[in-house]
Amino acid sequence: MTTSEAVNRSQVPEAFDEVADRYDLMVGLNPGYHAHLRASAQVLVDALAAAANAAAGMAAPSTHPVTVVDIGCGSGASTRALVQTLDVAGLDYRLIGVDGSAGMLREARAKTWPANVSFAQGRAEQLADLPELGGIELDAIFAAYLVRNVSQRDDLFTTLLGLLRPGGTLVVHEYSVAGNRAATAVWSAVCWGVVVPLGWVTSRRTRLYRYLWRSVIDMDSVPALRTRLRDAGFEQVRSSTIGGWQRGIIHTFHGQRPKRS
Ligand SMILES: C[S@@+](CC[C@H](N)C(=O)[O-])C[C@H]1O[C@@H](n2cnc3c(N)ncnc32)[C@H](O)[C@@H]1O
């Protein structure tokens, strides 16, 4: 794979290696990037807090910290959003960031984290085989800007469902413009007018950002993604769009593993 070739989905983590040292700079130029991640992280934390409140009323409430995985954690922006929202909620937690890109993980690990945060390298498709997760039932999984990079999304959701404890929560933060002409037009204009040129300025590379445009155009519509989640076995499936110019472009999806399954 040369640096001028188009990226296909299976090569995405390696393509992120090429821009890893410039990724934080790039997303820092995107107004709302971190606030939007926090808004989706809040959906996950609200679900965990509701479960903790329900458990507190039980005869033998759990004393274990909740375990959360941030799949496709990249350089740690989504992990940071989770840490911030989990800390504000006062939850006792263990958080594991997982990514397929060694370069992005290097950037994440170079940051300062609380002792209950760790990172592991692995593909989302093989998450169930990751030694770091061996035998652990997860309370929640966060996937920010990951799902559209996975070709076999039904298999991915089945895997994630199987990793969650009964009642556990999946939150997906993702682009989706299919079926929305206004959102598609705004996305194309911003991507070709701003994102691709900025990618060139920050990293002297554009192929990942050209892939970004195409991957968003090809992504499931919002109703289609909700249907995929339901078909995989998730309950309480709902979605909302975030604010700002990305309204109708970036969405938060929530699903829960059935309490009895
Ligand atoms: C756009 S970045 C988002 C990073 C982070 N979640 C954030 O919100 O800033 C997408 C990340 O997903 C990772 N990724 C893409 N496909 C993957 C896969 N199949 N398995 C694991 N990681 C993957 C990439 O390496 C990259 O770090």
Give pLDDT tens digits for 212-228.
999 999 999 999 999 99
pLDDT at 156: 98
Contacts 24+ apart (CB under 8 A), 84-92: 84/38, 84/41, 85/38, 85/41, 85/42, 85/44, 85/45, 86/41, 86/45, 86/48, 88/45, 89/45, 89/48, 89/49, 91/45, 91/48, 91/49, 91/52, 91/65, 91/66, 92/65, 92/66
Q: For the sheet containing 164-175, what is the strand order?
A: 117-121, 93-99, 66-71, 138-144, 164-175, 250-256, 235-241
Confidence of residue 13 (pLDDT cuts 50, 70, 90): confident
pTM of structure: 0.94
Q: Which of 159, 171, 180, 191 is nearest to 240 (CA)?
A: 171
81 inside domain: yes
Contact 97, 72 (CB under 8 A): no
251 inside domain: yes
215 inside domain: no
Q: Which of 111, 110, 65 is nearest to 87 (CA)?
A: 65
Least-confidence region, from 56-65, 106-115, 160-169? 56-65
* Dihedral (CA of 169, 175, 178, 179) sign: positive
The rounded distance, in Å, linking the Cα atoms of 188 and 142 is: 26
Neighbours of 210 (CB within 10 A): 17
| Token pair belonging to 90 | 């006062």
136 inside domain: yes
Check which CATH number belongs to the domain holding 79 and give it.
3.40.50.150
**70 has a pLDDT exceeding 60:** yes
**155 has a pLDDT exceeding 60:** yes
Q: Ligand 1 pocket by C-beta < 6 Å: which residues?
A: 12-13, 16, 37, 72-74, 77-78, 99-101, 104, 123-125, 144-146, 149-150
Confidence of residue 142 (pLDDT cuts 50, 70, 90): very high
**What integer best gives the mean pLDDT of the chain?**
92
List of residues 6+ apart from 231 with CB closer than 8 A? 154
- In the reported structure, the alpha carbon of residue 147 is separated from the centroid of ligand 1 by a whole-number distance in angstroms of 9
Is the model more confident about 140 or about 261? 140
Q: What is the mean pLDDT of residues 125-150?
A: 94
| Token pair belonging to 36 | 């939007």
4 inside domain: no
| Token pair belonging to 73 | 């954690």
- CA-angle at 70, arms to 68 and 73, nearest 5°: 155
For residue 163, what are the domain limits?
A: 31-179+220-256
Structure confidence by residue, pLDDT tens digits, 74-123: 999 999 999 999 999 999 999 999 999 999 999 999 999 999 999 999 99
Helices 153-163, 222-232: axis angle to 10 degrees equals: 50
- In the reported structure, the alpha carbon of residue 13 is separated from the centroid of ligand 1 by a whole-number distance in angstroms of 7
3-state helix, strand, coil in the chain (%, to 5): 50, 20, 30
**139 has a pLDDT exceeding 60:** yes
225 inside domain: yes
pLDDT at 62: 65
pLDDT at 242: 93
pLDDT at 18: 86
12 inside domain: no
Q: What is residue 23's DSSP assignment? A: H
Confidence of residue 30 (pLDDT cuts 50, 70, 90): confident
| Token pair belonging to 227 | 């249907």
Mutation test residue for ligand 1: of 146, 153, 155, the one with most atoms within 8 Å of CB? 146
Three-state DSSP at 44 gives helix
Least-confidence region, from 1-15, 111-125, 131-145, 157-171? 1-15
Instruction: Count the domains in the chain.
Output: 1
Q: Which of 139, 66, 146, 138 is nearest to 104 (CA)?
A: 146
208 inside domain: no
